[in-house]
Amino acid sequence: MCGIAGYFGLTQCGMQEVMHATAMQHHRGPDDGGVEDIAPGVVFGHRRLSILDLSPLGHQPMKDAETGSWLVFNGEIYNFQTLKGDLINAGASFRGHSDTEVILAGLVRQGNAFLKKLEGMFAFAFWNAQENTLLVARDPMGIKPLYYFLKDNEFGFASETKALLSMGRIEKEMDEKGLVGFLKFGAVQQPSTLWKGVQSLGPGEWMRLKRNPDGILEIHRQKFWTFPQEKAWTEEGAIEFLQRELPRAVRDHLVADVPVGIFLSSGIDSTILAGLASEVHPGLRAFTVCFGDHKEFDEDRLAVETAKRFGLKHERIVISEKEALDSFEGWLAAMDQPSIDGLNTFIISKAVRERGIKVALSGLGADELFGGYPSFHEIPKWSRRIQKIQWVPKSIRKLTSSVLGIGQGRVAKGKMRDAISSNGFPQALFQTRRGLFDSQWIEKLLWKKQITNIEPAFHVNGEETVRKVQQLETKIYMGNMLLCDTDVCSMAHGLEVRVPFLDQVILNFAFSLPGHLISQSGKPGKYLLKKAFAKYLSVSLLGQAKRGFVLPFAKWYKGPLRSICKGRLDKLDFLDQSEVKSCFKALVDWDETSMASRITALLSLTA
């Protein structure tokens, strides 16, 4: 896990810019670093968090001695040993045992075709010295970030937007489309970023750049992974597949040359991972965060039982309210893109890293892939109901929602209005359910500006509603928020977080499931997972309500963080200050606790 940066442009530029961008990402790779002028007008930079092959043979940027090609890579490839064996059989030789060297050898010999063989999380740049082309690529789920700018025949890339902006090749100007996407969902919607001229390379996408004889950069880009088509799985076949492949995925994700741990909550996902991991790695260290001042948020009782049952070395990390509050401004400073989520990950990652762990397994992804959210039941139900009343004029439906919303807060009223007046399609209802500020609210925040032409787009495959919800939760919520926040907040402390549920084989399987196996009427969420791995799940664990590690933001904003809130919110001069203040007033004076996440969103824009 690392930080990368690079430049492809004018021959007299690049080295100092990439050195600066690389230095700004020191936290992502505190173990080693390097910047290389690899070709005329081409510079690569790298910061290394050493996980595999801790020797200098894993140093990057990495050069292929035979062809003179170069690679900078961020991530982990879990099937690299298999790929290495195949390449050796084809005549390749290796000096070390890093996955970086395997990717470099594979790209040299097989080019873009090698991308489909990679199973893992990755973002990389590859300079093909024989063809004078630059290839950049990102893993299918976008677990690892890759941002770029393209301006005046200059191309730059980095793992963080802040590093990219530090190159000084583009102005730091807010992008309205990125801002609107953020206000709608609490996370910037890819490929936009908060800054004009800075884009995110799409998940499962590669881009190849080559300079033509006239000095113009020619660009070709392509998706190498898309959501699979539905297959005719039976319940028995699906369970058998999971019981075979998820243990293999966990085993692969445990491979490292440094200490590995696991985030252990009281939830289904981390419990299954812990059970599977304990069979491969007896005595694995497990970490449960306990919020000492708010026992209602603690998960340690069930986690302690789980750890004891699996023989894990369990450590309770007790976080006091003071420690959490002291982390608040550090979290804001660490943000690369604004978000309403991530402080919990920031706190947990810091604590785990301080205990000597460099790699931690997380259960992230199971809810999105296997129907763990209420949206999998609610959106199909509401879609059927609202499509039945499409004959009613929209103005009448809006009026009806106003009547139904009497006595409710602003957030609930806005969601009800948008839902009832929508077309009832899953995309529209998902936007309402996951939405932060509703459309009318955003227009007021943006000085009454019309925003219809810059709303983030939705593209999902298939006709089945549950499968659409699965893709939307994956792309919009997990992809744009959870994965981005996990990357930034863990890498701020030099911790690599691995997500076995997003293993490539598991991904292809989960997205090929028919809707009735993802979310079954009358059956609990994540039914397939629970049935496949029932032996790891205790009765008390199955009987608890779904919850996560949450923090009492509403209480904090009205109390110990009140002065920080007011000071920061006053700086938002690009938003309507009366609307900003009304949000804070609704939370403080009217105790509308749903405003807390809106305040968090506004505060993150000040970072």
Domain boundaries defined on the chain: 2-223, 227-549, 552-607
DSSP string, 225-266: --PPPP----HHHHHHHHHHHHHHHHHHHT--SS-EEEE--S
**One-letter identity of residue 306:** T
Residue ranges of the chain with per-residue pLDDT less than 50 = 297
Give the pLDDT score at 428: 87
DSSP code of 567?
H
Nearest to 167 by CA among 180, 152, 181, 157: 157
Please tell me whether residue 349 adopts helix, strand or coil conformation.
Answer: helix
Instruction: Round to whole Å and give the CA distance between 502 and 53.
Output: 24
Helix-, strand-, coil-residue percentages of the chain, each rounded to 5: 45, 15, 35
Q: Please tell us whether the domain made up of 227-549 is placed in CATH 3.40.50.20.
A: no
Select from 553, 595, 590 the least CA-distant residue to 437: 595
What pLDDT does residue 449 have? Answer: 59
* Closest CA relative to residue 314, chosen from 291, 288, 292, 275: 288
CA atoms within 13 A on the CB side of 598: 25
CA 162 to chain centre: 17
Question: Which residues 6+ apart lie within 8 Å of 52 measured at CB?
Answer: 58, 76, 80, 97, 98, 99, 255, 256, 257
pLDDT digits (tens, 9 = 90+) for 120-179: 999 999 999 999 999 999 999 999 999 999 998 999 999 999 999 999 999 999 999 999
Mutual orientation of helices 595-604 and 577-588 as an angle, nearest 10°? 140
What does the pLDDT read at residue 461? Answer: 60
C-alpha to C-alpha distance for 404 and 398, rounded to whole angstroms: 10
Q: Structure tokens of 106?
A: 């594979």
290, containing H or E segment? strand 285-291
Burial class (CB in 10 A: 0-12, 13-18, 19+), 405: middle
CATH number of 2-223: 3.60.20.10
Structure tokens at 327: 């982390």
Give the count of alpha carbons within 13 A of 483, CB side only. Answer: 28
Q: Are strands 359-361 and 260-263 parallel, antiparallel or unpaired?
A: parallel
Q: Which residue(s) pair with 206 in the sheet?
A: 137, 222
CA atoms in the 13 A half-sphere facing the CB of 416? 17
Q: Assess contact for 456 and 184: CB atoms under 8 A.
A: yes
H or E element, residue 74: strand 70-77
Q: Residue 23: which of 43, 5, 49, 50 has the closest Cα?
A: 5
Amino acid at 603: L
Tokens of 104: 């470099």
Q: Are 1 and 30 in contact, with CB atoms under 8 Å apart?
A: no
Note whether 437 and 425 are within 8 A (CB): no
Task: Report the chain's C-alpha Rg in angstroms.
Answer: 24
Here the tokens at position 606 are 């000040």
Contacts of 447 (CB under 8 A, 6+ apart): 575, 576
Cα–Cα distances (Å) from 140 to 205, 206, 226, 332, 507, in that order, read 7, 10, 8, 28, 9
For residues 118 and 78, give the distance between their C-alpha atoms in angstroms, rounded to a whole number: 8
Which phi and psi (to 5°) does residue 467 adopt?
-65, -35
CA atoms of 402 and 549, how far apart (whole Å): 34
CA geometry: angle 269, 272, 276, nearest 5 deg: 140
The DSSP secondary-structure symbol of 585 reads H
Q: What is the pLDDT of residue 590?
A: 83
Q: Alpha-carbon distance 443 to 425, whole Å?
A: 23
In this predicted model, what pLDDT tens digit does every residue of 243-267 receive, in sequence order? Answer: 999 999 999 999 999 999 999 988 8
**In whole angstroms, how far apart are CA 41 and each of 172, 219, 508?**
23, 16, 39
pTM for this prediction: 0.94
